[in-house]
Amino acid sequence: MNTWLITLLVCLLVYEVVEHVILPLIWAVRYRKRKSACGSSGMIGKKCVVKEWNGSSGKVWVGGELWHATSQYSFKPGAETTIQDIKGLELKVSPNDV
């Protein structure tokens, strides 16, 4: 075989190993500690806006959706809050300054 053909085959083999083995391992190690962007764990700490509130519960707007929320604090519509916890489809919120 010609040396250029052997060189080409070796280069292709090295490229494939780097592309399909080494780079995915590097990306997996780099991004594994990132906070999930989806699911309930990704919502904790996000800001939301109170749309209506009555006593200790009401509706808040977060991520383009209206959610049921509860809190030990009282809010007025338009107030910004932070999501502290999620129980099922109910958010537990608190004021931003707490």
What are 9-63's pLDDT values in tens digits?
Answer: 999 999 999 999 999 999 999 888 887 767 777 889 999 999 999 999 999 999 8
The answer to whether the CB of 60 falls within 8 A of the CB of 69 is yes
Q: What is the pTM assigned to this prediction?
A: 0.63
Domain shared by 27 and 58, yes or no:
no
Percentages helix, strand, coil for the chain (3-state, rounded to 5) are: 35, 35, 35
Domain shared by 66 and 84, yes or no:
yes
Closest CA to 43 of 57, 63, 29, 26: 63
- Quick one: pLDDT at residue 1? 66
Domain shared by 53 and 26, yes or no:
no
Cα separation, 77 vs 53, in Å, equals 7
- Domain range for 6 is 1-34
Cβ-in-10-Å burial (0-12, 13-18, 19+) of 72 comes to exposed
Total domains in the chain come to 2
